[in-house]
Amino acid sequence: MSEDVLKLSAMQLDALREIGNVGAGNSATALSQIINRKIDMNVPKVAILPLGDVPDVVGGADAMVVGVFLRVYGKAPGSVLFLLPKDSAFYLVDTLMGKERGVTKTLDFMDESALMEIGNILAGAYLNALSHFTKLTLLPSIPALAMDMAGAILSVVLVQLGQMGDHALVIETEFLSEDDGIKGHFFLVPDPGSLDTILGAVGVK
């Protein structure tokens, strides 16, 4: 990633935070409609992090998480990652499948499909908002799902970015259900070249 990225101005960071806000708001609404529970979201954080520090955002490299990952294609390519602590993922499956809370202990094929579909809907809602805001065409890939330690999942996602530099720009939003059962982190990681495109599209260069 170029050195320029490490010197983003306050105005550029605000613009990226606003983009995150619009996208995450759409995603939170979509999730809340699917599970029929109120979902709160924190104000998105925009950070330029060394690749090795990204796992700390979700509780450390050894935290067991379920990750749904999609590539973003179009005028501003990048990656989208929805990370849930393992217990939150199980609770989300219980909610989606109409089971009592605590029934799901492992993920079968149907559970994984349901979580990938959730990731798909959230990423779609996020990218639709982002497209509307920036007037850029952005299309999600088919989602991939993994349950592993956060460090392992993030290293796979970030290795392709790591070849272009040792920092990632991360727009991160935390979701929380009203009963605290579901906590999730949603990350948008633009490819290095995409940042200028996104900032140019919203008139902040």
Indicate whether 166 pLDDT > 70. Answer: no
pLDDT above 60 (res 163)? no
**Residue 168 pLDDT greater than 90, yes or no:** no
pLDDT over 70 at 40, yes or no: yes
**Mean predicted confidence (pLDDT) in 56-76:** 89
Of residues 192 and 25, more confidence is placed in: 25
CATH fold for domain 3-200: Chemotaxis protein chec (3.40.1550)
The domains of the chain are located at: 3-200
Q: What is the pLDDT of residue 1?
A: 45
Q: Cα dist. 168→51, 76, 175, 194 in Å?
A: 6, 15, 21, 12
Please tell me the predicted confidence (pLDDT) of residue 157: 73
User: Can you give the chain as a three-state secondary structure string?
Assistant: CCHHHHHCCHHHHHHHHHHHHHHHHHHHHHHHHHHCCCEEECCCEEEEEEHHHHHHHHCCCCCEEEEEEEEEEECCCEEEEEEEEHHHHHHHHHHHCCCCCCCCCCCCHHHHHHHHHHHHHHHHHHHHHHHHHHCCCEEECCCEEEEEEHHHHHHHHHHHHHCCCCEEEEEEEEEEECCCCCEEEEEEEECCCHHHHHHHHCCCC
pLDDT of residue 148: 93
Q: What is the pTM of this model?
A: 0.82
